[in-house]
Amino acid sequence: MTYDLHMHSHFSDGQLSPLELMSLAKEKELSVCALTDHDTLNGLESAQQAAQGLGLTFINGVELSATWNKQLLHVVGLNIDPENDFLKQGIDQNTERRQLRAKAMLADFAKHGIDLEEGLQAQLPDSAVPTRPHFAQALIDLGKAKDKKQAFKRYLVKGKVGYIPMEWPSLADVASWIHAAGGVAVLAHPLRYKLTRTKLRRLLADMQECNMQGVEVSTAVTDKQQVDMMADLVQEYNLYASVGSDFHSLDQPWARLGGAKPLPKALKPVWDLF
Ligand code: AMP
Ligand code: MN
Ligand code: MN
Ligand code: MN
């Protein structure tokens, strides 16, 4: 069985529709996949249908933005019930925060003589949530950056035009939404936050307090040494391990769909909890 439990569609900052994404998953010979768009459940129904038609096992997922000790964290909720009202209310809060942030970002760009209003609209299909990569693409289309990397260097980040500081819900809050919907809460890409080892341990301990059970140990960009290091930590904290490529688009060769390697045998996989 080949698993990929972290990927994005065009309902958040991914390139592909849920159907295109599931077709690619089939082509890559994945057996189980989860769609985990940022702060939205809107792509799940069509992904589920597409997966069913293709004979893939589909897991309902979401990637929630949270704030922990002033740090932005991503928490993946896996095997959630997308009809759960408590989860839906929480997600509505995050979607609304994203919409308010997008307005404030547009205003900040306008203040600096950059009109991104139309360019942003062109990036967003109906019922997609606005994300910074949408702004990055609008900046590229306007000739303000040559690629996304440059857009995220010149704009959109702390100290640059288009950066709006955000206070997202707490780890305890997002975990409670996921749990209410019967899901498993997983810390996404733990090494992306560049935490010291001490802080990473504090985070894993705080996760335990919130009954979060999983950590993404294998991602498309983790090497063997990093997987081994995280494997030791999840065993020490008695957590379950997940696998996710964080696939967004075909032009990002470092995060290919299905590009996360299988877990070390000694770990308990999150799907044991599904
Ligand atoms: P947001 O959640 O709207 O703040 O956007 C965060 C998303 O931006 C992440 O999930 C990544 O997909 C993307 N992102 C962040 N930094 C970069 C970067 N330097 N280059 C390309 N994409 C990035
Ligand atoms: Mn993203
Ligand atoms: Mn993420
Ligand atoms: Mn992601």
**Ligand 1 neighbour 130 (Cβ under 6 A):** no
| Closest protein CA for atom 3 of ligand 1 | 131
CA of 40 to the centre of ligand 2 (A): 12
- Antiparallel, parallel or unpaired: β 214-219 and 32-35: unpaired
* Residue where the block lists tokens 């893939």: 56
Q: Which ligand is nearest to the CA of 246?
A: 4
**Ligand 1 neighbour 133 (Cβ under 6 A):** yes
Please spell the DSSP secondary structure of 23-92, one letter per residue: HHHHHTT-SEEEE--BT--TTHHHHHHHHHHHT-EEEEEEEEEEEETTEEEEEEEES--TT-HHHHHHHH
Q: What dihedral angle (degrees, nearest 10) is formed by the CA atoms of 27, 28, 31, 33? A: -100
Q: Would you write out the chain's pLDDT as a tens digit for each of its 274 residues?
A: 999 999 999 999 999 999 999 999 999 999 999 999 999 999 999 999 999 999 999 999 999 999 999 999 999 999 999 999 999 999 999 999 999 999 999 999 999 999 999 999 999 988 889 999 999 999 999 999 999 999 999 999 999 999 999 999 999 999 999 999 999 999 999 999 999 999 999 999 999 999 999 999 999 999 999 999 999 999 999 999 999 999 999 999 999 999 999 999 999 999 999 9
What DSSP designation does 183 have? -
